[in-house]
Amino acid sequence: MKAGCSIVEKPEGGGGYQFPDWAYKAESSPGSRQIQLWHFILELLQKEEFRHVIAWQQGEYGEFVIKDPDEVARLWGRRKCKPQMNYDKLSRALRYYYNKRILHKTKGKRFTYKFNFSKLVMPNYPFINIRSSGVVPQSAPPVPTASSRFHFPPLDTHSPTGDVQPGRFSASSLSASCPESGGAADRKVEPSDLEDGSASDWHRGMDFMPSRNALSGGVIGHQKRKPDIMLPLFTRPAMYPDPHSPFALSPVPGRGGVLNVPISPALSLTPTMFSYSPSPGLSPFTSSSCFSFNPEEMKHYLHSQACSVFNYHLSPRTFPRYPGLMVPPLQCQMHPEESSQFSIKLQPPPAGRKNRERVESSEETTRGSVPASTPIPSRIKVEPATEKDPDSLRQSTQEKEEQAQEVDTVQTRTIEEGKGTVFAHPSPTWPSVSISIPSDEPLEVTEDSEDRSAREPGVPEKKEDALMPPKLRLKRRWNDDPEARELSKSGKFLWNGAGPQGLATAATAAADA
DNA sequence: AACGGAATCC
DNA sequence: GGATTCCGTT
């Protein structure tokens, strides 16, 4: 009986964050209707009260340590009303995030994982870019300061200068809805906690966005309505010193570059939405909004969108419509049927254990209904045995570089140099993303100021890469394959950096929801 | 401890 | 689809 386990628990008025009702609806969270583990983790991470249980790892961007695995598991179990939860199970769930590139393991460090923020948030906060100063506050993820919080990536590739300061996060309900969960860890933080962070409470600005949007859209309660255009654009915080605003969005409308981003807190940061869901219906940007923007931001956004569409074979429909926008032809399309429903299958059904057993024992089936006729595709392990263990070497030094490049630097270069894209069919070069915006200066959107040629000379893996199952591709990309990373850095994967706060915000929101 | 396959649940 | 559960392996 999960009677007491309500998933949607709106924060009572006052302390919590007020999102419009729709934000709390299950539909707002495609994929999973309940809080997701990574949300939960972030949620814990943003609360000082749990610092002894789980905390950001100092010195590593997005890295966190589970100090008390059992307790984390317990909390998670309580949240999910799974009393039997333990770290083993929880960690299994975390491990599933590896392939999704939401998380990866910091090898050599016990109970230490690392969020892949850059890939996580980008679709939702394409312009967010936080510096990888390497300074990670104790109780909070690397929080960009008011001055560095959000950058417009391509324009800011210089090395950061430790101006990241610890942010503090207001807490929302972390409370489990389970009946027995009344006490202990579930409390709200004092207002003082909410107040003083200069860069801290930014996510409260989220409050404005959905609600204002609901109003401005005029279609309250119909978020599914297709907007004319949906672009999450953010402005520089300094311009709008609204302490409550995550994106420094002033509640005062009408400023250039300000956009009311209608992000469902629950939905917006579900990474799978973007990465694996070509459906425009599930697009994070599917809510209506009125906004203004500046061309520069627009360029970046469009560019990244274009790249995303390209890189992931997303439906072109995911590309925001914009007058004058020229979406480069997707020449890397697959067969029509495929492309229409393209999605990265992270966990393709492998030959099951049953099959394995059957092969071995040549009969025997303990389960009820059994695949009497399940064609067993013999699985080919394509993955090259890169048996090096660069961890010890890489860990402290190189990883930071990675972060700097991965997170901070937004690769605005195009697929151009990718020649044959990772995924794909050799497509004649897709020249720079052409984005034309009315009343804009000549575009040089695509040039990376650094122009690092991280290009692999040989790139022998590409073909192989293309043949490789998506799962493996991703795996390669994220696990330990520096080459793969290099490849991705060189333009295969074009993501904007993003801040963990965004996630934390979402986590909070989701948690509250 | 960490990984990942497999089945299952919701 | 996202866990949860179980478990063999490294």
pLDDT of residue A238: 31
* CA to C1' distance (Å), from A80 to C3: 10
Find the nucleotide nearest A368 (Cα to C1′).
Answer: B7
A476 CB inside 7 Å of strand B: no
**CA A31 / C1′ C1 distance in Å:** 5
Contact between A164 and A145 (Cβ < 8 Å):
yes
Distance of A386 CA from C8 C1′ (whole Å): 23
CATH assignment of the domain containing A90:
1.10.10.10
CB-contacted nucleotides of strand B (7 Å): 1-8
Instruction: Tell whether A232 is covered by a domain.
Output: no
Say if residue A51 is exposed, middle or buried (CB neighbours under 10 Å; 0-12, 13-18, 19+).
Answer: middle
How many structural domains comprise chain A? 1
Q: Is the CB of A345 under 7 A from strand B?
A: no
Q: How far in angstroms lies nucleotide C9's C1' from the CA of residue A7?
A: 36
A2 has a pLDDT exceeding 90: no
Predicted pLDDT of residue A33: 59
Residue–nucleotide distance: A249 CA to C8 C1' (Å): 52
Residues A309-314 have a mean pLDDT of 36
pLDDT higher than threshold 50 for residue A63: yes
Q: Is the pLDDT of residue A44 over 90?
A: yes
Q: Is the pLDDT of residue A42 over 80?
A: yes
CB contact set of A113 (below 8 Å; sequence gap of 6+) = A63, A64, A66, A94, A103, A104, A105, A106
Lowest mean pLDDT among A107-111, A145-149, A494-498, A507-511: A145-149
Backbone angles phi and psi of A433, in degrees to 5:
-60, 125
A368 touches strand B (CB under 7 A): yes
pLDDT of A350 > 50? The answer is no
Nucleotides on chain C that have an atom closer than 7 A to a protein CB are 1-7
State the pLDDT confidence band at A332, using cuts at 50, 70 and 90: very low
| Winning range, highest mean pLDDT, from A91-105, A124-138, A160-174, A381-395 | A91-105
Q: Which of A47-56, A198-207, A453-462 has the lowest mean pLDDT?
A: A198-207
User: Does A98 map to a domain?
Assistant: yes
Q: Is the pLDDT of residue A163 over 90?
A: no
pLDDT of amino acid A488: 41
In angstroms, the CA of A21 and the C1' of B3 are apart by 41
Contacts of strand C, CB cut-off 7 Å?
A: A 31-32, 35-38, 76-77, 80, 82, 84-85, 88-90, 92-93, 96-97, 100, 270, 272, 343
CA distance A455 to A416: 11
Most confident segment among A45-59, A230-244, A288-302 = A45-59
Residue A196 lies in a domain: no
Whether CB of A93 is under 7 Å from strand B: the answer is no
DSSP state of A490: I
Stretch A105-132: mean pLDDT, rounded?
66
CA A449 – CA A120 distance, rounded (Å): 24
DSSP-derived pairing of the beta strands A54-56 and A112-115 = unpaired
Domain range enclosing A89: 57-124
Tell me if A69 is assigned to some domain: yes
* pLDDT at residue A368 in the model: 36
Q: How far is the CA of A2 from the C1' of B8 (A)?
A: 18
Read off the amino acid at residue A303. Answer: H
Average pLDDT over residues A59-80: 93
What's the confidence (pLDDT) of residue A76?
A: 95
> Above pLDDT 90, what percent of chain A?
14
- Please indicate, yes or no, if residue A151 is contained in any of the structural domains: no
Overall pTM > 0.75: no
Question: What average pLDDT does this structure show over A435-443?
Answer: 33
> Each residue of A253-290: pLDDT tens digit?
333 332 233 333 333 333 333 333 222 223 333 333 22
Residue at A17 is within a domain = no
Q: What is the mean pLDDT of chain A?
A: 45
N residues, chain A: 513
Check residue A97 and give its pLDDT. Answer: 95
- pLDDT, position A117: 74
Residue A374 in this model has a pLDDT that exceeds 80: no
Q: What is the CA A68 to C1' B1 distance in angstroms?
A: 14
Q: Which two tokens stand for residue A427?
A: 């497509």
Average pLDDT (A72-90) is 94
User: From the Cβ of A352, is strand B under 7 Å away?
Assistant: yes
Q: What is the pLDDT of residue A5?
A: 53
Residue A88, CB, strand B, below 7 Å: yes
Determine whether the distance from the CB of A335 to the nearest atom of strand B is below 7 Å.
Answer: no
Give the least confident one: A31-40, A128-137, A249-258: A249-258
The pLDDT of residue A119 is: 59
- Taking C1' of C2 and every protein CA, the nearest residue is A32
Q: Of A5, A6, A12, A4, whose CA–CA distance to A188 is shortest? A: A12
pLDDT higher than 80, residue A87 = yes
Evaluate if residue A70 carries a pLDDT over 60.
yes
∠ CA A173-A178-A183, rounded to 5°: 60
Whole-number distance in Å between A393 CA and B7 C1': 39
Instruction: Tell me which range, A19-28, A53-62, A317-326, A464-473, is most confidently predicted by mean pLDDT.
Output: A53-62
Residue A440 has pLDDT above 80, yes or no: no
Kindly tell me if the per-residue pLDDT of A54 is higher than 60: yes
| DSSP sequence for A153-181 | GGG--SPP-S---------------SGGG
Lowest-confidence region among A85-99, A250-264, A449-463, A475-489: A250-264
Q: What average pLDDT does range A103-125 have in this prediction?
A: 77
CB of A111 within 7 Å of some strand B atom: yes
Nearest residue to nucleotide B5, by CA–C1' distance, is A353
Protein CA at A389 to nucleotide C1' at C10, angstroms: 15
Contact yes or no for A285/A107 (Cβ under 8 A): no
A357 CA vs C5 C1’ separation (Å): 19
* Nucleotide lying nearest to A353, CA to C1' measure: B6
pLDDT at A420: 34
pLDDT tens for each residue of A201-219: 333 333 323 333 333 333 3
Task: Quote the pLDDT of residue A61.
Answer: 85
Q: How far is the CA of A344 from the C1' of C2 (A)?
A: 16
Does residue A64 reach within 7 angstroms of strand B, measured from its CB? no
